[in-house]
Structure 1
Amino acid sequence: MCGSELQALPEGVRRVAEVLQASGHAHAPVMLDSAARTAQEAADALGVSVGQIAKSIIFRRKSDDAAVLVITSGDRRVDEKKVDSIVGKTGRADADFVKAATGFTIGGVSPVAHANKPVTLIDRDLFRFDVIWAAAGHPNGVFQLVPGDLEKLTGAPVADVVKVEQA
């Protein structure tokens, strides 16, 4: 990308593209033909398994109102008790909080380029995959990466933060 391509992108995707470009990330955001507000919608649009979608879930830490971003595999559910044991007690974040804290709307929250840097955790289950996809700041925007890129791009620790699968 030389910069002129960024002008046509929605503002949130442009912010993500600039961060990716500045970090030397190999893959620029792409815009899907239809919105992918859920991991399943994104997987269907990309032709990948739902587990390859890196979901960005925002919680609100109760002690200081900080945004807590949990990045997990699309086929997993976050275990809030595990998150709380690492970052302190959290609660649900409504759409207004998510937008104010991250600069993104729900369904397009990227792991990078937040308005305010969140407390971030990366779930280790994402490392089952060689290639994953994350939201790029808009419900139609996504970008490709490998799980290790999340550590480099966010500086966040990898932790066990999902519910155990029941057989």
Structure 2
Amino acid sequence: MASDTPDTAASGTAAHPRFADALRGLGLDVEIRRFPDATRTAVEAAEAVGCELSQIVKSLVFEADGQPVVVLVDGASRVDVELVRHELGADAVRRASAALVRETTGYAIGGVPPFGHRTRTRVLADRRLLDHGVVWAAAGTPHAVFALDPKTLIAHAEGTVADVRDTAA
């Protein structure tokens, strides 16, 4: 379980170096909250931050017709792969392997931020993220998160807003 006493730092000092560089490149000065215990899951992150589960942004990597795509969805939701397939006009969509996640984003599963990836990748952002004034996302490691308003986060991710969450779950 994550500690509720985070280390706070200006952008870059607690974030993964690649993500810190991305923040600087975008001119963003956000507070990074670093926790001594990992926040690899949305539940762990919400508990550590003290926010609603739906305020956590999961950055999930899928493979659509062999091409990686990042899907941003709130922590309380699951991605509907068929909706992603339809949105992309793809024949097949499946979860990416851990190796493809690291190769595409430069980060390990559990620490993938919504932007600042190693390679330029298409991003879909579920519309439900816009229901919040502030959302929290990984800062490149399983130990660090940052907060941002969802419109700004999606804009910096160059994401397309779409309905991609599983409403049956």
Regarding TM over 0.5, the answer is yes
Q: Normalised by the size of structure 1, how large is the TM-score?
A: 0.87
Q: Which runs of 5+ in 2 are unaligned?
A: 1-9
Q: What is the match of residue 5 of structure 2?
A: none
Aligned partners of 1:80, 1:102: CA distance in 2, in Å?
20
Rounded Cα–Cα distance in structure 1 between residues aligned with 2:29 and 2:72: 20
User: In 1, are the aligned partners of 2:14 and 2:33 still within 8 Å (CA)?
Assistant: no
Find 1:55's aligned residue among 55, 58, 61: 58
State how 1:128-167 maps to structure 2 within 5 Å: 128-165=131-168
1:76 equivalenced with 2:77 (yes/no): yes
Structure 1 segment 20-59 matched on structure 2, within 5 A: 20-59=23-62
SS of corresponding position for 1:130: coil
Where does structure 1 differ by over 4 angstroms across 4 or more consecutive aligned residues?
none
Q: Report the counterpart of residue 100 of structure 2 in structure 1.
A: 97
The residue that corresponds to 2:67 in the other structure is 66
* SS of residue matched to 2:165: coil
Name the CA distance, whole Å, in 2 between partners of 1:21 and 1:105.
21
Q: How many Å separate the matches in 1 of 2:99 and 2:154? A: 27
- Please report the TM-score for the alignment, with normalisation by the length of structure 2: 0.86
Cα RMSD between the aligned structures?
A: 1.8
3-state SS in 1 of match to 2:101: helix
CA distance in 2 between partners of 1:55 and 1:38 (Å) = 9
Q: Number of aligned pairs? A: 158
Give the corresponding residue for 1:14: 17
CA contact (8 A) 1:21 1:28 kept: no
Structure 1: runs of 5+ lacking an equivalent:
none
- Residue 77 of structure 1 aligns to a residue whose secondary structure is coil
Identity of aligned residues (%): 36
